[in-house]
Structure 1
Amino acid sequence: MDAIITAQQWASVSDGERPPTLLDVRYRPGGPPGLPQYEAGHLPGAVYVDLESALAAPAGPKGRHPLPDDAVFGAAMRRAGVRFDHPVVVYDDGLGWAAARAWWMLRWAGHPDVRVLDGGLAAWTASGGRLTPEVPPVTEGDFVPAPGALPLLDADGAAELARRGLLLDARAGERYRGEVEPLDAVAGHIPGAVSAPTTDNVTADGCFLPAGELAARFAGLGASDGVEVGVYCGSGVSAAHEVLALAIAGIPASLYVGSWSEWSSDPARPVATGPQPG
């Protein structure tokens, strides 16, 4: 099953008799909610989903974007019209991180058919697609989460994977190296993790690189046959985008949702700095 859909493909399937459920998951780290932007103009038929309240629990010891309660997530998806037996497409208006978090959450919770609009809202408008302020009517969905369909790491699992397999750090290189840390209390990376910025998975227009190029990129980072792969970032959002990129490349990967925001909050956990895994 494909994990992404192009703007041209969406234009075709959205004209069908029963198009996929379309979710608008706009989000800016530290920025205002995406709802006002959604209300000003969105893809026809899209329903807004708030990342902070629907795709994450409140920040705490488990990180800045820990997993939401299953009941909370399921209720939000049903309100948005998500059905288990009907495909879902998600998009945002940024780097694709929020859309990837929604993709990962739904897939992890057992939905069998979820795709991300490649390039998001920008790709849609660049292809000639229109936007509308009209909020569509929504029929209540029936999706009930059944967690565990995708692999998940906790802090101890991430530490172990960094030793026995390949743990990728999806943050910017300067955060990995410990040169800056704009969000968390401690700068650096999980010992043994390899720097793999999410931004290197996409072209200048925000669309994913071709599958073959992504596969070559990850192979160069150590993702060879038989090597178990995991990903973390700051708080489990951009790392979901990297898991998506790995899926496009045909490489299964685990997500450490707590990520650096959880890891660095525990002073007992070791921290590495510099350009090497440590």
Structure 2
Amino acid sequence: MPVLISSAALDAARASSTPPRLLDVRWSLAQPNSLAEHAAGHLPGAVYVDLDTELADIGDPVRGRHPLPSREAFEAAARRWGLEDGDSVAVYDAGHGFGAARAWWLLRHAGVEVRILDGGYAAWVLAGLPVETGEVTPAPGSATLGWGGMPVIEADDAAAWPAHGLLLDARAGERFRGEVEPMDPVAGHIPGAINAPTSENVAASGLFLSGAELEERFAGLGVTADADVAVYCGSGVTAAHQIAALEIAGVRAALYPGSWSEWANQGREVATGA
């Protein structure tokens, strides 16, 4: 199943006999709730998804800032979005795909056919395609979701991973090196990890790099198609974007959902520097 869908292809799919469900996952650390932006303009029929409450189970800091929701909680959210068994889904955010990738990863984990709108809302608007305002409240769906479709690792696995594979840290370089830490109690990275900032998966336009460009990028970090690869970030959100980029490049990778926010709250060993 392709990871991405273009604005033109999604517009055509909307007019088909089996249009995908559209989910608006606009989110950022600075502005986690973007319901106002959704109401001001969104793809026709798109349902707003709140990442913090519907794509995560926020609670004990020892589990990180965005631990995975339970299957039951995620299924309840999917039903609120109107999802039915057999539906396909297209997810988007403001542009770069960071929030949308979290929804993509979870829906893949739950066995749902899903693609990320490449370039997000910005690309859709730039293409001159229709938008609507207000909030969409669909009739509740009755989808029954699976669980376990994507590989997941825990903190102990992450600690041992560099001994047999590649552990990619998707945060910005200054956070990886421990020069700054705006969110979590300890600065640095998991010993043995390799820095691979998520921001380098996309072009200035907000579109993902091509498969060949991503393959070249990850090959430069030592990633090959048969490598054991796992990814973490600050709280397991942008790491999903890295996993999407790796899949475009032909590499399957595991997610460490707790990521640095879990690791830093558990008193584990920390490395700093490049």
**Alignment check: 8 A CA contact 2:95 2:123 kept:** no
Structure-2 separation of matches of 1:147 and 1:86? 16
Corresponding position of 1:255: 255
Matches within 5 A, 1:70-149: 70-111=71-112, 113-136=113-136, 138-149=138-149
Equivalent residues, number: 273
Residues 1:219 and 2:235 aligned together: no
Structure-1 separation of matches of 2:145 and 2:32? 28
Deviates more, 1:153-162 or 1:219-228: 219-228
Sort the Cα spacing of 1:91 and 1:190 in 2 relative to 1 into closer, same or farther, 3 A. same
Q: Give 1:142 shift.
A: 2.7
Structure-1 separation of matches of 2:186 and 2:243? 24
**Alignment check: 8 A CA contact 2:190 2:269 kept:** yes
**Alignment check: 8 A CA contact 2:224 2:251 kept:** no
Structure-1 separation of matches of 2:245 and 2:70? 26
Corresponding position of 1:265: 265
**Alignment check: 8 A CA contact 2:225 2:250 kept:** no
Structure-2 separation of matches of 1:226 and 1:42? 40
Aligned residues: percent identity? 52
Structure-2 separation of matches of 1:224 and 1:35? 40
After superposition, give the CA deviation of every residue in 1:174-221 in whole Å (9 maximum; x if it has no partner): 100111101001110000100000011100011100001101111111
Corresponding position of 2:161: 161
Structure-1 separation of matches of 2:254 and 2:90? 22
RMSD after superposition: 1.3
**Alignment check: 8 A CA contact 1:55 1:67 kept:** yes
AA aligned to 1:128 is G
**Alignment check: 8 A CA contact 1:28 1:94 kept:** no
Structure-1 separation of matches of 2:256 and 2:211? 23
Matches within 5 A, 1:61-72: 61-72=62-73
AA aligned to 1:195 is N
After superposition, give the CA deviation of every residue in 1:96-145 in whole Å (9 maximum; x if it has no partner): 1110000001111222x100001100010111112211444523323223
Deviates more, 1:12-21 or 1:173-182: 12-21
Corresponding position of 2:10: 10
Output the TM-score relative to the length of structure 1: 0.95
Secondary structure at the residue paired with 2:63?
coil
Q: Give 1:59 shift.
A: 3.6
Q: Give 1:247 shift.
A: 0.8
Q: Give 1:226 shift.
A: 2.6
Structure-2 separation of matches of 1:92 and 1:237? 13
Q: Give 1:70 shift.
A: 1.9
Corresponding position of 1:246: 246
**Alignment check: 8 A CA contact 1:100 1:244 kept:** yes
Matches within 5 A, 1:49-64: 49-60=49-60, 61-64=62-65
Structure-1 separation of matches of 2:219 and 2:107? 27
AA aligned to 1:150 is M
Output the TM-score relative to the length of structure 2: 0.96
AA aligned to 1:197 is P
Corresponding position of 1:274: 273
